[in-house]
Amino acid sequence: MTGPLAGLRVIEFAGIGPGPYACLLLAELGAEVIRVDRPSAGGLFDAEVLNRSRPTIAVDLKSPAGVETVLRLIEGADVVVEGLRPGVMERLGLGPEECLGRNPRLIYGRMTGWGQTGPLASAAGHDITYAALTGALHATGSADKPRNAVNLVADFGGGTLFLVMGILAAVFERGVSGRGQVVDAAMVDGAASLMTMVYGLQAAGLWQDRREANLLDGGAPFYDTYECADGKHVAVGALEHQFFAELMKHTGLSFEQWDVARWPEMRAALTEVFRSRTRDEWAAVFEGTDACVAPVLSLVEAPAHPHNVARGVFAPYRDGVAPRVAPVFSRTPALPPGEVHAAGQDTRTVLLAAGFGEAEVDALLEQGVVTQA
C-alpha cells in the first residue's frame, strides 16, 4: 500500500453520490476501505465508477447475524461512513451508539443532505435543492434563471469534501484524546460554507444579490466566456490590472477596465473579436501570456490537453480515462484508479482477513447472512 492514508481502516455502507466518492478518495489515498453492500445490490449506473478501488462484502443487514458480522468488522476499524437518512442506521442496530460501544475510538462519518437535525432532516432532496437553501443556487446561472453547476456544489463540494475533511480532523483529534466521535456532514452546511467569500463581499457592499451583476458571476466582461468562430468557447478571467492589459493587447482593443459605464460596449467588442477566430486559434494567441484566457474543453478534449497530460491529471481506465485523486504528494503518492468490484465479490476474503474462521464463513454463507458474488 502507498498513499498518505495507508494504515487507516474504513468500513463503508454502500450508498450513492457523495458518500461513495468520499470513500473513493480515502481508498486511493491509501486507506483500506471495505464496502458493505446488500446481497441484492444493483448499480445506479452501469459504470459505477464511484465504487472503484475497494473490496466489497455483501451482508443481510436485516439479519441479527449480519449486523453482528459487521460490528465485528467495525471493532477493528478506524472510520465508518454511511449516507442513509437519519435514523436508518439506528433502526438496523448499527448507529453510533452501538458502533462506538464496540469501538470507542471509532470515527463515525454521516453523509446527508440536510443533516442529522433540523426540520428538514428526514426530507428527500438532491444537490440542487440543498444548494437552493444556501444562496449558492441563487448566485449561479444567467441573469434570468438560476442554474445548477452539475452536482458539484452540494453533492461533491459541500458533501464529499467536507465529510473527508471532517473525518481526517476527527482522526487527528483522536490522536490527542484517544476518543472517537460522530461527524455530521450535511451538504447544506458544506455548500453554505463554500459561499463564505460571497457572503463576505455582500456584507461589505461589494456584491449585488442578483446574478450577472458581479465580478465573478458574468457581470464583468473581462470575467466571462465568449463564443468563437467555430461555435466553441474561451474562458476569460482577466481580473487583475496587468492581466486585463494583456487581454487588451492581444485582442487589439482599448478600454479602461473599471469604466463600468462602458462595460456593455466592452462586452460587445470582446464578443465580436472572439467570433473572428476559432477557439484553438485564440488558444494559440494567448499561449504563454498572462491574459488568463483558456479554451473551454469538452470532456473528450480535457484529458488530452498537454498540461493535464504532464501532471497526470487523468489515468487510463476501462475504455477511456478517469480523473486521478488529488492532490499530489511528494513521498506517498496516491494509488491509480482501481477496478469496481461487484457487490459481494470479496466477502470470503474480507471475512477471513478480519479473523473469521473458514467454518464460520461457510456457515454465514450457507445461512444467507452473507453472500459471495
Which residues are the active-site residues? 126, 155
Buried b (16+ CB within 10 A) or exposed e, 261-280: eebeebbebbeebbeebbbe
Buried b (16+ CB within 10 A) or exposed e, 64-94: eebbebbbebbeebbbbbbbbebeebeebbb
Residue 201: phi and psi, rounded to 5, are: -65, -40
Residues 219/212, Cβ–Cβ less than 8 Å: yes
State the residue for C-alpha cell 486507506.
31
Distance CA 362, CA 368 (A): 10
Residues 12/35, Cβ–Cβ less than 8 Å: yes
Parallel, antiparallel or unpaired: strands 320-323 and 32-37: unpaired
SS3 178: coil
Distance CA 61, CA 64 (A): 7
Instruction: State the DSSP code for 368.
Output: T
Parallel, antiparallel or unpaired: strands 32-37 and 9-13: parallel
Residue 75: phi and psi, rounded to 5, are: -55, -30
| Alpha-carbon distances, residue 236 vs 70, 222, 248, 294 (angstroms) | 52, 6, 12, 7
